[in-house]
Structure 1
Amino acid sequence: MEVNSEGVFIVKGEKKLRCGFTTGSCSAAAAKAALIMLITGSDIHNVSIMPPKGIAYNAEIMDIERKKEGDSVTCAVIKDGGDDPDVTSGSRIMATVEFTQEPGIVIDGGEGVGRVTKPGMDQPVGEAAINSVPRKMISQCVTEVLEEYGLSDRGVKVTISVPGGQELALKTFNPKLGIMGGISILGTTGIVEPMSDAALLDTIRTEIRVRKAEGRDMLLAAPGNYGMTFLHEVYGIDESLAVMSSNFIYDTIRIAAEEGFSRILFAGHIGKLVKVAGGIKNTHSMYGDHRMEILTKLSEECMEREVFLSVKDRIMNCVMTDEAVGIINETGRGSAVFKKMADNIRDYLEKWSEDALKAEVIVFSNENTELVSTDKAHSWIKEV
């Protein structure tokens, strides 16, 4: 990734694409600016924060509003998604900050920010759909400002709002996921990295070639940041040693075979890899979901009929796979179901390579908890 006076860029294939900043970064920047203005009484028009990716975000501050009583300040940051197609680009991400009687930092959603109505999401039912990493970023920015001005004992409430967010949410999967009333405030790195299919596949091939040039016969792969984090935190593996396939599972397998690998070890969250157990080659939601249908079918194959019928509808009505995992485990047949799932994933990976590759799989669920692995996965991972 390259940073210069024009912004943040990432080179994919032969293209140089401009990165953007997530709604989480925008929210944190707006909250920081609003709190500084609440404390000092003076307007500011730029603020800098450091997202988890480690690339500074210098945000322009707009639409500054103060209550006449002077007990709250609201301001906005314009979301810029860079060269990534994003329905939220150009939206105003607003933060209202006020002091509270009780110590601590309270974060909530206002107009245009969705609210969670079904279990299994990043936040509990009833909470604003502001995910964990954005909440952490907002809290960190608020804490830093309070410490800078010697006000660490003060309580602060931050309310994030997105005018027009309710209409924007209709263009997303939020209504299907049970997030109602607006968009979600998202982002795990704080940076929006633009993606195009051709550019991503070029990048995947390049990374695979680098691994092959290192003399490896086994490729370590993960669908995304969650898989990379899992490998690092659970197995201590340097994230640079794994290739990120994104949603292109089938293409990654084909490229690995073409580049001469004989083995591949895939590690990923059940929410992605369960789709592969059903033969889905690209795990992007635009090609269909089918996660619950696949888990239901696997359960039917591994449970007595009466037990299966008692949980069938509950599984099908789940929003997230981690919720379904809990229901399946309640039956006492979880080990059988997830072993069948992992074996199916492995079989499809090998089939897609036209038997040029031997494959092993590690699947994890919520909070980096390993759910299941195929027979040789643990011995293979020790080789990395």
Structure 2
Amino acid sequence: MRPRSGYTLPVFACAGAIAALLWLKHRKPTLSVSVDLIEPAQTVDIPIEQVSGIREGEALAITRSDPGDNLDLTRNTPIWSLVELSEGAGEQIIIKGGEGIGQIVDASGEAAIYAYARRLLRENLERLLEPGQKIEVTIALPEGRTLGLRTSNAAFGVVDGLSLLGTTGISQPLSAAGHLDASLEELRAKVREFSQFPMPNAQYPTLVFCVGENGLDLARQLTIAPERLLKTANWLGPMLVEAGLQGVKAILLFGYHGKLIKLAGGIFHTHHHLADGRLEILTAHCAGVGLPTPVLQRVLKSATAEDALKYLRELDAKSGSNWVNLVYGAIAQAIDKRSQGYIRTHSEREVCVGSVLFDRDRHIFITSQIGSALLSQLC
């Protein structure tokens, strides 16, 4: 059975805001509201758990996250939408982040409510407002601060909570077991597509495994042909083996260093529910290139892989050393070697694998030797 999709956090935040606004306008509770997802172009009904007036001109609605068949830590978490309705001049819709909504470090603490979420709220709410009316919407995630500590948000510059992130209202079950079959079929379809248009051996068929949405977006910015791009979740091992079985000649692994580093340690299912070991793998490679014991201890005690990278960069800046390139160059080479060996072991096929690693700012900072060669062909 194909895994069930759900909805992203912005959809539930928007549904709550609609319910609260409707209460203010009609003084009637509602069991569900219709939300225009915009992306994709469809309207869905979202259940409302509670809605009530707080004081004159102010109402609160509560929804609960349903991400579908996904290993998503926000499942069933409450989303509060507080709406204050008034009249007069000024901006018609103001959107704020309350408790549990993360803050963007690089934007001076701005609430981590991103473009799609803001567009979703504005377009759905402005339809319900009459001329001269204006609202202030505050979204809160009571469990967000605690849940945020269990994510990699801090590595991407979001602290003290969760983000209202995404480019679509649909939450695809990327980490559910049933999604693996769909991903494998997408891989096979791409290979079939290439087989209809033979290309030189150096380029046929080379695929780019983009680990997560950040990897896919960055690969697109580099103008890599869309037909070569395949967004992968955490099922890298089975995907690599299937690529070998399907006759893929080369694979470029394109992802955040905090994910791909697991492959250097032989971990080919990268979801943190199953295995981590990132700092241990990084520390081992630091030792391998000769970093002293105090540095190794500091790296191992880092809160995140991104913090460890930041520390090594600071070390290079102070001493004029080149540890980041040495350490991560060794890691990228290990990713390539381990991946090629994994494919060989489980498929008896030889596949050329290269890797590209980027940091939390989505800046590519290490490319393996094979990765550089593949990237030059693909861009």
**TM class by smaller structure:** 0.7 to 0.9
TM-score, length basis structure 2: 0.76
* 1:88-120 residue CA offsets vs partner (Å, 9 max, x unmatched): 54454221123699978453334xx4778xxxx
Q: 1:268 aligns with which of 231, 255, 259?
A: 255
Residue 369 of structure 1 deviates from its aligned partner by 0.9
Match of 2:335 in 1: 345
- Corresponding position: 1:107 with 2:96: yes
**RMSD (CA atoms):** 3.9
Residue 127 of structure 1 deviates from its aligned partner by 6.9
Aligned amino acid, residue 50 of structure 2: D
Match of 2:215 in 1: 227
* 1:145-174 residue CA offsets vs partner (Å, 9 max, x unmatched): 35854569x672504144xx489959x936
Match of 1:160 in 2: 140
Tell me if the contact between 2:340 and 2:351 (Cα under 8 Å) persists in the aligned partners. Answer: yes
Task: Report SS of the residue matched to 1:353.
Answer: helix
* 1:274-309 residue CA offsets vs partner (Å, 9 max, x unmatched): 11112212111122211122222222333542xx62
Match of 2:320 in 1: none
Residue 378 of structure 1 deviates from its aligned partner by 4.0
- Corresponding position: 1:326 with 2:326: no
Say if 1:374 and 1:54 are closer, same or farther in 2 by CA, change over 3 A: farther
Residue 260 of structure 1 deviates from its aligned partner by 1.4
1:64 and 1:156 mapped to 2: Cα distance? 17
Could you list the runs of 5+ residues in structure 2 that have no partner in the other structure?
Answer: 196-203, 317-322
TM-score, length basis structure 1: 0.75
| Equivalence map 1:173-212=2 (5 Å) | 173=150, 184=162, 187-188=165-166, 189-194=168-173, 199-212=178-191
Could you list the runs of 5+ residues in structure 1 that have no partner in the other structure?
Answer: 1-14, 117-121
| Equivalence map 1:17-166=2 (5 Å) | 17-35=3-21, 37-38=23-24, 40=25, 42-43=27-28, 45=30, 46-50=33-37, 52=39, 55-68=42-55, 70-84=56-70, 86=72, 88-98=74-84, 105=94, 107-110=96-99, 113=100, 131-133=112-114, 136-144=115-123, 145=125, 149-150=130-131, 156-162=136-142, 165=143
Task: Report SS of the residue matched to 2:173.
Answer: coil
Tell me if the contact between 1:24 and 1:187 (Cα under 8 Å) persists in the aligned partners. Answer: yes
Tell me if the contact between 1:88 and 1:168 (Cα under 8 Å) persists in the aligned partners. Answer: no
Residue 123 of structure 1 deviates from its aligned partner by 5.6
Match of 1:12 in 2: none
Aligned amino acid, residue 245 of structure 1: T
Q: 1:381 aligns with which of 352, 371, 375?
A: 375
Tell me if the contact between 1:87 and 1:168 (Cα under 8 Å) persists in the aligned partners. Answer: no
Residue 76 of structure 1 deviates from its aligned partner by 2.0
1:71 and 1:246 mapped to 2: Cα distance? 44
Say if 1:55 and 1:169 are closer, same or farther in 2 by CA, change over 3 A: same
* 1:198-223 residue CA offsets vs partner (Å, 9 max, x unmatched): 53332233222222221332222122
Task: Report SS of the residue matched to 2:268.
Answer: coil
1:361 and 1:288 mapped to 2: Cα distance? 21
Tell me if the contact between 1:81 and 1:192 (Cα under 8 Å) persists in the aligned partners. Answer: yes
Residue 315 of structure 1 deviates from its aligned partner by 2.9
Match of 1:316 in 2: 300
2:132 and 2:361 mapped to 1: Cα distance? 34
Tell me if the contact between 1:263 and 1:357 (Cα under 8 Å) persists in the aligned partners. Answer: yes
Tell me if the contact between 1:19 and 1:81 (Cα under 8 Å) persists in the aligned partners. Answer: yes
- Corresponding position: 1:289 with 2:273: no
Percent identity, please.
19
Residue 26 of structure 1 deviates from its aligned partner by 0.8
Residue 373 of structure 1 deviates from its aligned partner by 0.8
Residue 320 of structure 1 deviates from its aligned partner by 3.3
1:63 and 1:364 mapped to 2: Cα distance? 43
1:57 and 1:314 mapped to 2: Cα distance? 49
Residue 379 of structure 1 deviates from its aligned partner by 4.1
2:370 and 2:325 mapped to 1: Cα distance? 17
Residue 191 of structure 1 deviates from its aligned partner by 2.2
Match of 1:248 in 2: 235
- Count of residues in correspondence between the two structures: 348
Task: Report SS of the residue matched to 1:359.
Answer: strand
